[in-house]
Amino acid sequence: MNLFLLTFVLGTSEFVIVGLLSEMATDLQIAISTAGALVSAFALAFAIGTPILTALFSQFSKYPLMLTLILIFIAGNILTALSGSYALLLVSRIVTAVVTGVLIALAMAVASETVSAEYRGMAISTIFTGFTIASVIGVPLGTTIGQWAGWQMAFWFTTILGVVSFIASSATIPKGLKGTKSSLLNQIRLVTNLRMILAFFIPALSIGATYTVYTYLTPLLQQVLYIQDQYVSLVFLLYGVVSVFSTLIGGKIAKRNGLGKLRFIFLIQACILASFYVSTSSIVMGLLSISCMALVIYMLSSTMQLYFIDLADKYFPSARDLASSLTPVSVNIGIAIGSALGGFVTTKMNLIDVSLMGGSVAILASLLTFISYHLDKKKTVGYEGTSSLDR
């Protein structure tokens, strides 16, 4: 339960900025695309820093390490709340991003080490649910606070959540989980393995497809669907509620032949994102497209997390903690890709064109999944969610 709370706090801090881009751009007197670059910067810092620090920290006991990182996370949110310039805001978000990534990787490792094999999928799904609940409660609440009292107040809110998580973590994280010594060579072999590289870009492209649209959802709601500002947080609430079901469905998908099912889910995702281009002529149809977009976004999470861990167990067991970081790292690479593509579209094309760009990226995710699944079948590697790769 504590790991669920931790990821809820981390998710709220990471994603609340999406609902406040307009306010931040106005306050700092910058373009909306410049404010959106903070999302890309967070994701890139997360993606680059997480595997490096996770590999370096893997030898340390998880209990004191996680508590130390939570304290740094709290400090990062305080710095964000106190930021009066874009430069300081950027630095604070980078610090927070790196710490967030390592904490997520450690939470995944703790979950997989403390439950039996048959319950790993459910445990991983529960942790990912923390992020979706953050979308349901944390992000809309933080957005409302930021719109009402200034965007800085939203990060004082995440600071308080961080303190609560620290107290809970200090009382509930198992103290007996030791670190794993691993050579740098094993860590390098893991991240340079061709199967790992191919799998890594599957969630990156799928999440990138959604975030091409989601990063600019606030201006889309305001300028395309003509939804009044006071109702924007309600749309984010709707998105979050639906995404909870995405995570739960993802846990079910991971039980058997998850990768095979994802091939077609990504094609469905492409159709949903592209449909937003025409559905915005009606508020009801536009909200339906947004809801469907939320329904598919996290279906991949449990399947890909277990896939990475099982690959590491088979070929690089001493690099297991690093493997646990690959799904969240890939997701944040996807966020960076999506927000950057969205920024390009909003600068060079029409705002609504982000939907077509997102749909195209989802097709690429499906193509990579087809290739990876074909390689698994060709090499007679049976992957069935909670099963090992040898089954």
Say what percent of the chain tops pLDDT 70: 89
In angstroms, the CA 186 to CA 348 distance is 44
Place of tokens 């060579």: 185
Q: Is the pTM of this model over 0.85?
A: no
Whether pLDDT at 387 is above 60: no
Tell me the per-residue pLDDT of 249-299, one tens digit each, with 9 for 90 and over: 887 787 777 788 898 999 999 999 998 888 878 888 888 988 899 999 888
Question: pLDDT tier at 177 (50, 70, 90 boundaries)?
Answer: low
* Domain spans of the chain, in order of start: 2-378
Percent of the chain with pLDDT over 90: 21
Give the position of tokens 């997480």: 50
The enclosing H or E element of 266 equals helix 258-279
Residue 202 tokens, joined: 């599957």
| CA 163 to the chain's CA centroid | 22
Is pLDDT of 159 > 90? yes
Alpha helices by DSSP H, 120-216: 120-133, 139-149, 151-172, 184-192, 194-214
Q: What is the pLDDT of residue 391?
A: 39
308-340 confidence digits (pLDDT tens): 877 777 777 767 667 777 887 888 788 888 988
The CATH H-level (homologous superfamily) assignment of domain 2-378 is: MFS general substrate transporter like domains (1.20.1250.20)
Query: Is 386 a residue whose pLDDT tops 60?
Result: no
- Per-residue pLDDT tens over the stretch 46-95: 878 888 888 777 777 878 888 999 999 999 999 999 988 888 999 999 99
With CA atoms as reference, report the closest residue to 74 among 167, 143, 144, 1.
167
